[in-house]
Structure formats: C-alpha cells, structure tokens
C-alpha cells in the first residue's frame, strides 16, 4: 500500500510549501509526460520511454519536487538532470520558470535536448558539465535529484555551499538523496546504485552517501532553513526530500 502522507521527521524550521504526499504522479499524467521520450527516429529504441514511464508511475520524487517549487518564479538550475524529466514534469504542472539542466553524461544531454525539442518544451536548455569541476553561474532555485552520492564528501559540501549562495529570496534548493545509514533501505539504495553502474545505465559509480546531520549542518551554515521528509512511497529505497530556502 502506498503511504498517503509522510510526516517530516525533523526540520530546522518549516520551508514552504509542503513537499508532497508520498505518491507518484497518476498514470495518465505519467503517460503524457513519458510520451516525450518515445523514439523520434524509426531505429531508436524504447528504453528511455519505458524507463521514464516506470519512474514517473512508481517514484514519489516528482510530486514532491513540484510541490516544493510551486509558487516560485525563480529560474531553476537542475544539477545532474539526466534526461531532463523534471523539465517535462514542471511544464505539465503549469510551472513556467526558466529551466537549465546540466549533466556529466553527454549522451543523456543529447537525448534530453532532442526530446525537449521534439515536444516544443519552452525555455529549457541542457548542457554537459562535470559538477566535480564546479557549477555554471546561476541565480534562482537549484534542484539536485539523486546526484549527491556520485560526488566525494568534499565535492558535496562545496556544491551545496555554492548552490545555497545562488538562492534568491523566493528561490528554493530541492534535494532528493539516499541518506547514508545502516538501515535495510540504506543497503538497498547502495546496492541498486552500484547495479545501475554495472549494467551501464549510470556512467558514474556512487562515491559517498550524505548523512542527515552533515547535510543540515552545511545548509544551515549557509544561512538556509531546511525541511527533511522521507520520500519512500512504495519503493525500497532510503530516499529523502530536503527543501531549503533562505532563512528570514
């Protein structure tokens, strides 16, 4: 059974708005978004389409992130954007802020561009970049979804501090990450990430899973208030949604 409501376990101060109810997107909306990833070329394969359809229908990530960003017009930088699924989810939610996605995987960025162009996605750009080498200049909101574990501890801290400094008054920093702990969920998350690398879906290998205390300390030191919410849905993973905004 899918949990209806997941209460935040801890927070430093409430960050508005609430981060979703732990359910994935409904089937019809998932299908509409995933259609953008149908192969445009007759020889293309359907892997991206089935992957995105499965992810949208099973993962509570997108409702959580959409709820966290709703109400802000700040431009969004999506770090480690993959195929750019968030851009499609935002537009389907009526959120029209400028979107810029960056990812180390040049092949994914090429597919993200092609799908965005094929569906006429407005005001969305995609670039190849390695976050370990630094971040593109930006002012506004920042999304970091399922990416932190691919960076070293030092690179994570630097990324989070730099991203925090980018936030404008109405902007939000939205992070989804598995947290490093010895729970069964923690172990399942680590094994699945490793398998994704071994089968070639993820070019990168996981390096370091952040802890809740470490994340909170870094974000609060950067002047942000934070809310941590478990985002398990009906998945076996130790996923959390962290929403941060400027304090005061």
**Backbone phi, psi, residue 106, to 5°:** -60, -35
Comparison of 108 and 172: residue with beta carbon closer to ligand SAM = 108
Residue 146 interacts with ligand SAM (CB under 6 A): yes or no: yes
Residue 67 interacts with ligand SAM (CB under 6 A): yes or no: no
Residue 125 CB, nearest distance to ligand SAM (Å)?
A: 15
Residue 103 interacts with ligand SAM (CB under 6 A): yes or no: yes
Residue 194 CB partners (closer than 8 Å, separation 6+) = 205, 206
Residue 104 interacts with ligand SAM (CB under 6 A): yes or no: yes
**Of the residues 63, 82, 140, 233, which one makes contact with ligand SAM according to CB under 6 A:** 82
Point out which span in 34-42, 75-83, 164-172, 226-234 binds ligand SAM (CB under 6 A).
Answer: 75-83
Residue 132 interacts with ligand SAM (CB under 6 A): yes or no: yes
Residue 206 CB, nearest distance to ligand SAM (Å)?
A: 9
Can you name the residues that pair with 121 across neighbouring β-strands?
none
How many C-beta neighbours within 10 Å does residue 190 have? 17
- What strand order describes the sheet that includes 124-128? 10-11, 224-230, 239-246, 173-178, 141-145, 76-79, 99-103, 124-128
**Backbone phi, psi, residue 80, to 5°:** 75, 55
Which residue stretches of the chain are H helix?
27-34, 47-58, 61-69, 85-92, 106-118, 153-166, 184-198, 212-221
Residue 148 CB, nearest distance to ligand SAM (Å)?
A: 9
**Of the residues 33, 56, 77, 81, which one makes contact with ligand SAM according to CB under 6 A:** 81
* Whether 242 contacts 214, CB under 8 Å: no
Residue 169 CB, nearest distance to ligand SAM (Å)?
A: 25
Residue 59 interacts with ligand SAM (CB under 6 A): yes or no: no
Residue 77 interacts with ligand SAM (CB under 6 A): yes or no: no
């Amino acid at each position: 059974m899918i949990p209806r409501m997941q209460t935040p376990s801890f927070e430093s101060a409430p960050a508005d708005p609430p981060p979703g109810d732990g359910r994935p997107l409904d089937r019809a909306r998932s299908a509409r978004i995933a259609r953008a990833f149908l192969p445009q070329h007759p020889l293309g394969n359907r892997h991206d389409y089935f992957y995105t359809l499965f992810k949208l229908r099973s993962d509570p990530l997108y409702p959580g992130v959409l709820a966290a960003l709703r109400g802000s017009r700040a431009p969004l930088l999506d770090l480690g954007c993959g195929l750019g699924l968030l851009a499609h989810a935002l537009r389907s939610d009526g959120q029209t802020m400028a979107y810029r996605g960056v990812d180390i995987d040049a092949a994914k960025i090429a597919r993200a561009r092609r799908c965005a162009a094929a569906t006429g996605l407005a005001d969305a750009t995609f670039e190849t970049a390695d976050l370990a080498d630094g971040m593109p200049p930006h002012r506004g909101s920042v999304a970091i979804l399922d990416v932190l574990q691919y960076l070293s501890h030092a690179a994570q801290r630097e990324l989070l501090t730099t991203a925090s400094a980018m936030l404008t008054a109405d902007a939000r920093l939205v992070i989804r990450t598995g947290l490093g702990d010895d729970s069964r969920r923690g172990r399942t998350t680590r094994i699945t990430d490793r398998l994704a690398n071994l089968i070639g879906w993820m070019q990168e290998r996981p390096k370091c899973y952040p802890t809740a205390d470490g994340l909170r300390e870094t974000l609060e030191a950067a002047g942000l208030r934070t809310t941590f919410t478990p985002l398990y849905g009906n998945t076996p993973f130790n996923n959390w949604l962290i929403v941060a905004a400027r304090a005061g």
